Structure 1
């Protein structure tokens, strides 16, 4: 792999090809900044592998949301996590005054050799990262963001995994891994087995549905999930609908409508486990599943990382940034919506600075149930499911 002979200086806003960066020397402590949701966290996993493989003696600490603790013990190398305080534009609204001095004082008691910014375009995250006083910094930057020592220009339409790999490539960190991978803990599987005990149906295939998504525009309609659940249950699958506590009503609506369609008339009922599983139990359940059907959501990405087959419904723009990258275990159906169905505004202009209309219609409602059912049958019958 070609490398440059002279690393860039801190004041040059250097733009370095991923395959050309020199590794830094004497790196013993690495801090990675990535807040956000479950999917955001999982997209960093290949980049974390690259950092570990290239700096095997260095400790890796992730600064993020509480969900970051999921990675502890589930990767083949040690990482630690630290919950971020409210940071304006990172974990708090951009216009909210925040004081991070105590946090910075605590985390910098030991020197940081390399700080990696994987949290967006850097308008708010780069100043915070620079306040940690690391010897070396790498990350993305929009045109109006502070430059780091080695900087990648931020463009929204890039796959999150590829962007994170390109960022750590600025530090000379390379890996062959291109998809997130996690291993469930024994206690994860035990929690899932306990939750499934009330509905166990012998050797019936387990299909998990997640009808939720943080952005309501990414949600396939409840009726579509219910129709799919009913059909799979009639064909002998055990169907479990999942979600967090905020999605309990959504999951129960899927179950009610599936039952009204006769979903429980088959050999396996359709049940809701929404709000009953912690993150560990969810991990175990998705690892146990033969198939997960979901929107573009955190549980979908977690199932993917666990090696479980998935059928997904995506808005076209999110396929670019967050779609599954392989097709042996994964199928996607895409809605090609480019304007708001209510007001007609262009919805392809996304990101922090893009204007967003106030409407929340489903952008993926046009994806047909028969198409997703065809994908589900294909994966369940192909032998690639668990």
Structure 2
């Protein structure tokens, strides 16, 4: 690791973080720390199209977004998409003084960052990755928010890092929610049964049992791709619930979660979104994911931990970094019982004086 002082004369900063919702939200404290260190600099996020849609015009540390095209290992996992010289030249023309890489170990991202012509580069570096001017080692099992704050500290940024910084909910977000769902009922609790990795999904029947045990209006949220999961919860419940499937954009979903007293979820981007708008959460986590992406405080956020460490089908290790991911996709979090989840729900709602 080299360097920790503020870089002099910085007017333009680029930060590379081009992945999913939860990944971005865990990086917001580092972005805030960079903005605090360079309050007069323009901060550009090198992200994807969803970042541009969600962040444009939204108060926060990001001043503008460059939506990157598919770049292997940077903005897509697909092979065969190297960064074009035209793109790199376009970014060089922006004359960034500082480029910060908080996008993995650097195998693909560090060479890309080095092509952008900044006076100073800073970021993460795994063994074998290209070096940057200032860097910290990238290691397994390190919470992402704290990892990114270490990078910000390389160039003088400081932050507390205890939770995702708040995301501003705008009037447009609330108008979208009103147009789609009208006025949400008081005391609403949202349940989100989806997750991109099926191994992180708690069974829908357990979400339904939990939802039935909460004497509150229930909304079940999910993307269009998660419709079967959402409807699985709704149909398994013994009382009515409102499915919200692919009808709200990310801003509208933020507005919905803002109106909820609690969100119950898997380890997924919407859990981070709920926390970022100030709503308490209860979530089911696999133990390895908890280390990297779990909530860092317990006052408002309660993770329930699965200690399964091997594939339920073939026994392949999930904690040995030298063991390749097996092809099986059963849930790895079924050992989390309904009772423990209900205890945390009850405790959070009681703490707010909201339990009916």
2:279 match: 308
1:169 alignment partner, one of 153, 157, 160: 153
Q: CA deviation at 1:94?
A: 5.6
Post-superposition CA distance 1:300-354 (Å, at most 9, x none): 001111110000100001111000111111111100011111111110135xx75
Q: Is 2:341 aligned against 1:372?
A: yes
Bigger Rg, which one? 1
1:356 match: 325
1:39 alignment partner, one of 22, 26, 30: 22
2:112 match: 128
Q: Is 2:220 aligned against 1:241?
A: yes
2:132 match: 148
Task: Sort the Cα spacing of 1:384 and 1:329 in 2 relative to 1 into closer, same or farther, 3 A.
Answer: farther
**C-alpha contact (below 8 Å) 2:309/2:317 kept by paired residues:** yes
2:305 alignment partner, one of 334, 357, 363: 334
2:199 match: 217
Post-superposition CA distance 1:264-288 (Å, at most 9, x none): 2xxxx31210111111111111111
Task: Sort the Cα spacing of 1:210 and 1:296 in 2 relative to 1 into closer, same or farther, 3 A.
Answer: same
Mapping 1:185-224, distance limit 5 Å? 185-197=170-182, 200-201=184-185, 203=186, 205-224=187-206
| Secondary structure of 1:242's aligned partner | strand
Q: Is 2:43 aligned against 1:64?
A: no
2:230 match: 251
After superposition, the CA RMSD in angstroms is: 1.8
**C-alpha contact (below 8 Å) 2:31/2:62 kept by paired residues:** no
**C-alpha contact (below 8 Å) 1:121/1:140 kept by paired residues:** yes
Q: Is 2:308 aligned against 1:324?
A: no
1:138 match: 122
Post-superposition CA distance 1:150-209 (Å, at most 9, x none): 1111002100000000011111111235322212001212222333338x54x3x11111
The unaligned stretches of length 5 or more in structure 1 are 1-14
Q: CA deviation at 1:56?
A: 0.7
Matches of 1:313 and 1:45 in 2, distance apart?
23
Aligned length: 353
| Secondary structure of 2:222's aligned partner | coil
Q: CA deviation at 1:253?
A: 1.2
2:268 match: 297
Task: Sort the Cα spacing of 1:40 and 1:250 in 2 relative to 1 into closer, same or farther, 3 A.
Answer: same
| Secondary structure of 1:273's aligned partner | strand
Post-superposition CA distance 1:128-166 (Å, at most 9, x none): 111111110001111110000011110021000000000
Matches of 2:148 and 2:62 in 1, distance apart?
19
**C-alpha contact (below 8 Å) 1:39/1:301 kept by paired residues:** yes
Post-superposition CA distance 1:36-78 (Å, at most 9, x none): 1100011110011111110111100001122323234444445
Matches of 2:138 and 2:323 in 1, distance apart?
14
Runs of 4+ off more than 6 Å: none
Post-superposition CA distance 1:234-255 (Å, at most 9, x none): x2x1111111111112101110
Task: Sort the Cα spacing of 1:93 and 1:182 in 2 relative to 1 into closer, same or farther, 3 A.
Answer: closer
Q: Which moved more, 1:364-373 or 1:75-84?
A: 75-84
Matches of 2:62 and 2:18 in 1, distance apart?
19
**Normalised TM-score (structure 2):** 0.94
**C-alpha contact (below 8 Å) 2:266/2:284 kept by paired residues:** yes
